[in-house]
């Protein structure tokens, strides 16, 4: 114990706030700890008195819908009763959004607009046509435990759709995700099946969040699936012992003693996930730590007045849900401003501790009892809406259609997600990724998502009957799914923004470590090496702005580009990782080496397949070597070369790799020269082409061999048509085999993926420009002397 700082393990009095999950498992429902049992159901709140406006009346079009209260219940006599949910294929036209906005006194038009997205919904779509509102009837109800995606029909809902005049759909920036409207629970018919009421939306407390609701959610989670949602699942799968044993000087905010305390063991705590914003605020430093350790420190006006509102509100949330200790980065990790070029010995120790903590933030969030997610807070100064009385952002979307007949839009935490800075920040991705319980504050209300895949929301009823005995696959390798386990996290994170570009690996370190452990392979500058060739084939994400080059990371990886990327091998081949590993043994030939440094002659294999380093009869993935090209391709080992012509770039340190080498790859493959020119050929793959300019790849015969999408910025310096060098990377498919056809059949659907190159440092090394596709054998249609086997350094 140092000074007045309390070491939690040495505190004299026992503290129920530090119970582990195993402690809770042993408590009976009537034990002394409230969270060990489930409080009685909360009463249905009355309907707010301000939902109607003077002069309200259904417009002519809405009155023709003949909406009735009983229509929103699936009655025992109905054909749908007890059967799986079924949407009605018939669409009901509601008119143009512009017209709906004019009908200010029609309560149903107002509700439809709110459900769609309110002010975010445009009158005119991007294609120039008017935006139209449509709806259709559907049913919902109890989930099937064996097939949770199926629900029994117990109530009816109105699903709202937004379409353009030309039949297109609005995107998530313009409209809420899958909005629906249903009967308010207060108007539930007394003669209807009783259990149907719990699927209807209910009124929320209008002034602020009722934390009795949140405590009840946690009680349900504790009683029904604490072993699934406890931090032990995370800790076991990640090989953690306890956070205090991993992070030196781990501290928490004690919300009861109002000070900072030092932790040890496996404490029970909440962690705050939020965005800082650009305006500076009060943080913990080596100078003020001594003051902040004293009990009552945060009650001092000169300190409390400088704590930003979001953090103040997070302390309130922790106290309200019965969690005494809160981890907040700005108060629990040193935030000293240090001159990196002139550090003292003490400053070096502070910086080492800070960077060490930053790189293992997955421990902090994964070991937390709950993560408080301030998703709707635009900065640390914004506060968490709904925590303080009078801070609900807007009234609940309920409209009175007739006396005793009210309808409500069931809001979702994701509503308006594209407008929240939180969901765009790189650091927040792994914070919520590792949370076993995520308490999200957005749109003025709160929701809870736990690892049992059960969610709770303020305006819906709590279902304590749901018990999950098995954690759904959420770690790479568990479900053998390349989409969920590898490509999904890369795609999601690549879209995020970073204040400091140098954090590109730091903010992904925990997720990368998770992938590395589950796949039992290293990660090289963001790419798991077991699937290296096919992960190199990533493309810019459709419908997004084109990625721009991040010069301090290698061009061949997604980390070298700012903007979303789409790996999507699951789309053109399969989601099955075992099948992918098998195919890579047949469809690849490059032996990838990683240069130790730009000025070094040493290289190491990116991946060892386990067949033995001296086995020259095996390729990079351990498959038999196949004869593909009509020239000598036997040379695969790197020659001893130093990059000397110009000073090569030093890339960001690869903290996510066990062998963090330079980022320059050295290897042999086929080089060919093709022309790129305008094309009218449609994109062959399902969906829209990647962001960029689509061009044709032309051979010396004049035939179009394939397509490529290149950055428009690159075209400004390399106007098409022009001849450029391409590398053959591997075999792949442009489309998935149809009709159950064998995807591995050696037919015309397997093609060569090629990489368009740009020489750097007078050709000493190259960078990736884009990935395209040509037919097998098309390499012989190369300009000049034809294709050749060539050694490449790729940076």
pLDDT band at 44 (very low <50, low <70, confident <90, very high): very high
Say which range, 39-43, 207-211, 292-296, 489-493, has the weakest mean pLDDT.
39-43
How far is the C-alpha of 55 from the C-alpha of 335, rounded, in Å?
57
Residue-wise pLDDT tens digits, 105-163: 999 999 999 999 999 999 998 888 999 999 999 999 887 766 666 788 999 999 999 98
Say which residues have a Cβ less than 8 Å from residue 580's Cβ, sequence separation at least 6. 482, 531, 534, 569, 573, 574
Secondary structure class of 21 (helix, strand, coil): helix
Q: Which long-range contacts (CB under 8 A, 24 or more apart) does 610-615 make?
A: none
Q: DSSP secondary-structure letter at 618?
A: B
Q: To the nearest whole number, what is the mean pLDDT of the chain? A: 85
Helices 211-229 and 309-320, axial angle in degrees (round to 10): 70
pLDDT exceeds cutoff 60 at 9 = no
pLDDT band at 471 (very low <50, low <70, confident <90, very high): very low
For residue 102 the two structure tokens come to 């004019």
Looking at residue 27, its pLDDT comes to: 32
Considering Cα of 546, then 358, then 266, then 242, what sign does the dihedral take? positive
The owner of tokens 């933030």 is 361
Dihedrals phi, psi of 42, to nearest 5 degrees: -80, 145
Looking at residue 345, its pLDDT comes to: 57
What is the CA angle 709-489-478, rounded to 5? Answer: 125
Work out the widest C-alpha separation in the chain, in whole angstroms.
86
Averaged pLDDT for residues 19-45: 52
The domain spans of the chain are 8-37+210-394+414-457, 60-199, 482-794
How far is the C-alpha of 614 from the C-alpha of 631, rounded, in Å?
24
The residue among 411, 398, 408, 407 whose CA lies nearest residue 441 is: 411
pLDDT band at 472 (very low <50, low <70, confident <90, very high): very low
The residue among 675, 718, 716, 712 whose CA lies nearest residue 697 is: 675
How far is the C-alpha of 473 from the C-alpha of 498, rounded, in Å?
29
Looking at residue 37, its pLDDT comes to: 65
**Beta bridge mates, 337:** none
Burial (Cβ within 10 Å: 0-12, 13-18, ≥19) of residue 287:
exposed
Q: Which ranges in 610-721 belong to alpha helices (H)?
A: 712-717
Secondary structure class of 246 (helix, strand, coil): helix
Residue-wise pLDDT tens digits, 758-793: 999 888 899 999 999 999 999 999 999 999 999 999
Query: Phi/psi class of residue 258: alpha, beta or left (left: φ > 0; alpha: ψ in -120 to 50)?
Result: left
For residue 199 the two structure tokens come to 């699927």
pLDDT exceeds cutoff 80 at 543 = no
pLDDT exceeds cutoff 50 at 633 = yes
How far is the C-alpha of 726 from the C-alpha of 672, rounded, in Å?
5
pLDDT exceeds cutoff 80 at 87 = no
Dihedrals phi, psi of 733, to nearest 5 degrees: -115, 150
Q: Residue 485 in contact with residue 475, Cβ under 8 Å? A: yes
Q: Residue 220 in contact with residue 38, Cβ under 8 Å? A: yes
How far is the C-alpha of 637 from the C-alpha of 149, rounded, in Å?
51
pTM: predicted TM-score of the whole model, two decimal places: 0.85
pLDDT band at 355 (very low <50, low <70, confident <90, very high): low
């Amino acid at each position: 114990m140092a000074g007045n700082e309390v070491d939690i393990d040495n505190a004299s009095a026992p503290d129920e706030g530090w119970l582990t999950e195993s402690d809770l498992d042993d408590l009976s429902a009537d034990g002394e700890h409230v969270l060990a049992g489930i409080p009685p159901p909360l009463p249905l709140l009355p309907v707010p008195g301000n939902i109607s406006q003077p002069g309200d009346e259904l417009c002519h079009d809405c009155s023709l819908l003949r909406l009735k209260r009983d229509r929103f219940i699936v009655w025992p006599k109905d054909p749908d009763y007890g059967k799986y949910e079924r949407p009605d294929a018939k669409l009901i036209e509601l008119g143009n959004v512009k017209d709906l906005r004019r009908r200010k006194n029609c309560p149903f038009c107002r509700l439809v607009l709110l459900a769609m997205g309110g002010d975010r919904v445009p009158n005119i779509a991007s294609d120039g046509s008017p935006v139209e509102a449509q709806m259709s009837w559907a049913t919902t109800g109890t989930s099937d435990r064996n097939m949770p995606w199926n629900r029994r029909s117990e109530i009816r809902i109105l699903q709202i759709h937004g379409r353009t005049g030309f039949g297109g759909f609005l995107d998530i920036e313009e409209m809420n995700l899958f909005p629906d409207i249903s009967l308010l629970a207060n108007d539930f018919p007394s003669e209807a099946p009783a259990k149907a009421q719990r699927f209807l939306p209910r009124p929320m407390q209008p002034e602020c969040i009722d934390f009795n609701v949140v405590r009840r959610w946690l009680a349900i989670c504790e009683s029904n699936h604490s072993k699934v949602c406890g931090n032990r699942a995370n800790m076991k799968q990640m090989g953690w012992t306890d956070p205090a044993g991993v992070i030196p000087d781990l501290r928490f905010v004690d919300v009861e003693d109002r000070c900072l305390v030092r932790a040890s063991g496996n404490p029970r705590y909440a962690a705050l996930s939020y965005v800082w914003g650009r305006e500076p605020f009060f943080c913990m430093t080596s100078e003020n730590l001594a003051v902040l350790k004293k009990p009552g420190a945060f009650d001092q006006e000169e300190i409390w007045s400088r704590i930003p509102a979001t953090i103040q509100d997070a302390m309130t949330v922790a106290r309200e849900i019965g969690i005494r200790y809160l981890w907040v980065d700005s108060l629990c990790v040193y935030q000293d401003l240090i001159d990196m070029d002139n550090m003292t010995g003490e400053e070096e120790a502070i910086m080492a501790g800070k960077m060490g903590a930053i790189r293992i933030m997955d421990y902090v969030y994964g070991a937390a009892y709950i993560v408080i997610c301030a998703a709707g807070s635009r900065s640390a100064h914004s506060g968490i809406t709904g925590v303080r009385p009078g801070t609900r952002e807007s009234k609940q979307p309920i409209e009175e259609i007739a006396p005793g007949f009210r309808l409500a839009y069931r809001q979702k935490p994701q509503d308006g997600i594209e407008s929240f800075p939180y969901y765009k920040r790189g650091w927040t991705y792994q914070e919520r990724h590792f949370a076993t319980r995520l308490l999200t504050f957005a749109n003025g209300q709160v929701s809870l998502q736990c690892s049992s895949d059960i969610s709770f929301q303020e305006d819906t009823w709590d279902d304590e009957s749901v018990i999950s005995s098995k954690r759904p696959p959420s770690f790479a390798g568990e479900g053998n799914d390349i989409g969920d386990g590898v490509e999904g996290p890369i795609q999601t994170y690549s879209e995020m923004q970073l204040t400091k570009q140098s954090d590109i690996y730091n903010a992904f370190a925990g997720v990368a470590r998770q992938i590395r452990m589950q796949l039992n392979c290293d990660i090289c500058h963001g790419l798991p090496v077991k699937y290296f060739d096919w992960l190199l084939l990533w493309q810019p994400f459709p419908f997004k702005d084109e990625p721009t080059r991040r010069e301090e990371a290698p061009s061949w990886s997604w980390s070298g580009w700012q903007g979303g990327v789409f790996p999507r091998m699951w789309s053109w081949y399969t989601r099955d990782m075992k099948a992918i590993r098998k195919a890579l043994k047949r469809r690849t030939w490059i032996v990838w080496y990683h240069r130790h440094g730009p000025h070094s002659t040493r290289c190491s294999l990116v991946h060892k397949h386990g067949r033995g380093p001296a086995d020259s009869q095996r390729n990079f993935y351990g498959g038999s070597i196949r004869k593909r090209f009509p020239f000598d391709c036997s040379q695969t080992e790197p020659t001893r070369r130093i990059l000397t012509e110009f000073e090569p770039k030093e890339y960001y340190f690869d903290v996510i790799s066990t062998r963090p080498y330079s980022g320059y790859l050295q290897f042999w493959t086929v080089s060919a020269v093709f022309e790129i020119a305008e094309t009218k050929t449609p994109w062959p793959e399902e969906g829209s082409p990647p962001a960029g300019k689509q061009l044709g790849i032309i051979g010396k015969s004049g035939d179009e061999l394939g397509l490529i999408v290149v950055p428009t910025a690159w075209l400004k310096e390399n106007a098409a048509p022009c001849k450029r060098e391409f590398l053959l990377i591997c075999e792949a498919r442009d489309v998935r085999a149809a009709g159950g056809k064998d995807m591995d059949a050696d037919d015309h659907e397997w093609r060569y993926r090629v990489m368009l190159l740009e020489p750097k440092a007078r050709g000493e090394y190259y960078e990736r420009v884009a990935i395209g596709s040509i037919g097998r054998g098309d390499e012989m249609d190369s300009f000049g002397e034809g294709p050749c086997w060539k050694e490449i350094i790729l940076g």
